[in-house]
C-alpha cells in the first residue's frame, strides 16, 4: 500500500482513540478541538499558525475564531471521515497551541443533530430541503447545511402516528467521557432516563413533559 493510499483510509473510533489525541474528540466523523486562547489577538496568532501548517500539508481544517477561543474541525472530505492526514495535522495544531499557551477544552465539544420521526422520509424530505436551503447528504436519510454552520437533519424511520406525539427530537453527539455527568445533570434538573438499551451508542432522556432527546457517542458504531 502506498503512502497516498494509507492516507485515504477512514479511521474508526477505536483507531482514532488509539492515537492518543488528548485535545481532540471525534464527533460524527470529524475531529473537534477547542483551544482557549485567553484573548482575541492570541487567537489570531493561533489561527495564522494553523493556516501556515495547513497550507504546507495542503490539508485544510475548518476554523472558528471567537473571544476567547479557537474551534477547529478536521476531516478528509474526499473520503468522508478522519484519516491519518487529520491525525498528523491535529498533532501539529496541538503542539502550536502549547507553544502559544492555549489550553484545550475537549469536554465542551459537541455536535447537535435534529432528528425528525417519519414513516415516509421521501414525502417530507423535499420540503425541508427547500425551506431550509439544505442539500442532500451522502447518507440518504440526512440533509446537510451547505455552509456547515447549522445542524444536520436526520429522518428517523417510525410508525405512522398522530400529533401531539413528538416528531422532532434532538440528537447531541458528545465525547464518551462526558455522558455520565450529562445524564446526571439532566435527571437532577427534573428529567428522566427513558432508555439505555442502545448504550453506548445512545441514551434516551425526556424532560418533565415527556419531550425526548438522545445523547449519542461514536462507541458501538461502525464509523465514528
Please give the share of the chain, as a percent, with pLDDT higher than 90.
82
Residues 98 and 158 in one domain: no
Residues 94 and 119 in one domain: no
Residues 121 and 32 in one domain: no
Residues 177 and 93 in one domain: no
State the pLDDT at residue 38: 92
pTM of the model: 0.88
Residues 55 and 117 in one domain: no
Residues 34 and 69 in one domain: yes
pLDDT band of residue 2 (cuts 50, 70, 90) is: very low
Q: Is the pLDDT of residue 165 over 80?
A: no
Residues 103 and 157 in one domain: no
Q: What is the pLDDT of residues 92-127, one digit of tens each?
A: 999 999 999 999 999 999 999 999 989 899 999 999
Last residue of a domain, one of 108, 136, 156: 108
pLDDT band of residue 7 (cuts 50, 70, 90) is: confident
State the pLDDT at residue 74: 97
Extract the runs of DSSP E, i.e. beta strands, from the chain: 25-27, 30-36, 62-66, 69-74, 103-104, 111-118, 135-136, 142-144, 152-157, 168-173, 192-195, 202-206, 212-216
Residue 62 CB neighbour total at 10 angstroms: 13
End-to-end CA distance of the chain, in Å? 23
Q: Is the pLDDT of residue 159 over 90?
A: no
d(CA 41, CA 220): 41
pLDDT band of residue 221 (cuts 50, 70, 90) is: very high
Residues 100 and 122 in one domain: no
Q: Which residues have C-beta within 8 Å of that of residue 125, sequence separation ≥ 6?
A: 143, 155
Q: What are 136's strand-pairing partners?
A: 143
Identify the CATH number of the domain in which residue 30 sits. Answer: 3.30.1360.20
d(CA 181, CA 124): 36
Residues 127 and 46 in one domain: no
Let me know if residue 221 belongs to a domain: no
Q: Is the pLDDT of residue 154 over 80?
A: yes
Q: Which domain holds residue 87?
A: 3-108
Q: What is the pLDDT of residues 32-50, one digit of tens each?
A: 999 999 999 999 999 999 9
Residues 157 and 83 in one domain: no
Last residue of a domain, one of 108, 140, 172: 108
Q: Is the pLDDT of residue 1 over 70?
A: no
Specify the residue for cell string 494509507. Answer: 6
Let me know if residue 182 belongs to a domain: yes
Identify the CATH number of the domain in which residue 174 sits. Answer: 3.10.180.10
Residues 93 and 117 in one domain: no
Q: What are 35's strand-pairing partners?
A: 70, 104
Residues 132 and 164 in one domain: yes
Helices and strands in the chain: count of H runs, count of E runs: 6, 13
| Number of compact structural domains in the chain | 2
Amino acid at each position: 500500500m502506498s503512502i497516498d493510499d494509507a492516507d485515504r483510509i477512514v479511521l474508526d473510533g477505536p483507531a482514532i482513540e488509539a492515537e492518543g489525541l488528548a485535545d481532540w474528540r471525534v464527533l460524527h466523523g470529524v475531529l473537534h478541538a477547542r483551544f482557549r486562547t485567553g484573548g482575541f489577538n492570541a487567537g489570531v496568532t493561533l489561527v495564522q499558525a494553523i493556516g501556515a501548517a495547513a497550507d504546507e500539508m495542503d490539508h485544510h481544517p475548518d476554523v472558528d475564531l471567537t473571544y476567547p477561543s479557537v474551534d477547529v474541525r478536521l476531516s478528509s472530505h474526499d473520503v468522508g471521515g478522519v484519516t491519518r492526514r487529520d491525525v498528523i495535522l491535529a498533532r501539529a495544531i496541538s503542539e502550536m497551541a502549547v507553544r502559544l499557551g492555549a489550553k484545550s477544552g475537549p469536554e465542551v465539544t459537541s455536535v447537535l443533530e435534529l432528528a425528525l420521526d417519519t414513516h415516509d422520509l421521501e414525502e417530507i424530505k423535499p420540503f425541508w430541503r427547500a425551506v431550509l436551503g439544505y442539500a442532500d447528504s451522502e447518507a440518504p436519510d440526512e440533509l446537510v447545511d451547505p455552509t456547515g454552520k447549522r445542524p444536520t437533519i436526520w429522518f428517523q424511520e417510525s410508525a405512522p402516528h398522530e400529533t401531539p406525539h413528538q416528531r422532532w427530537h434532538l440528537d447531541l453527539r458528545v465525547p464518551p467521557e462526558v455522558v455520565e455527568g450529562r445524564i446526571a445533570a439532566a435527571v437532577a434538573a427534573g428529567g428522566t432516563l427513558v432508555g439505555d438499551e442502545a448504550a453506548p451508542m445512545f441514551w434516551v432522556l425526556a424532560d418533565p413533559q415527556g419531550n425526548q432527546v438522545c445523547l449519542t457517542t461514536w462507541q458501538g458504531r461502525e464509523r465514528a
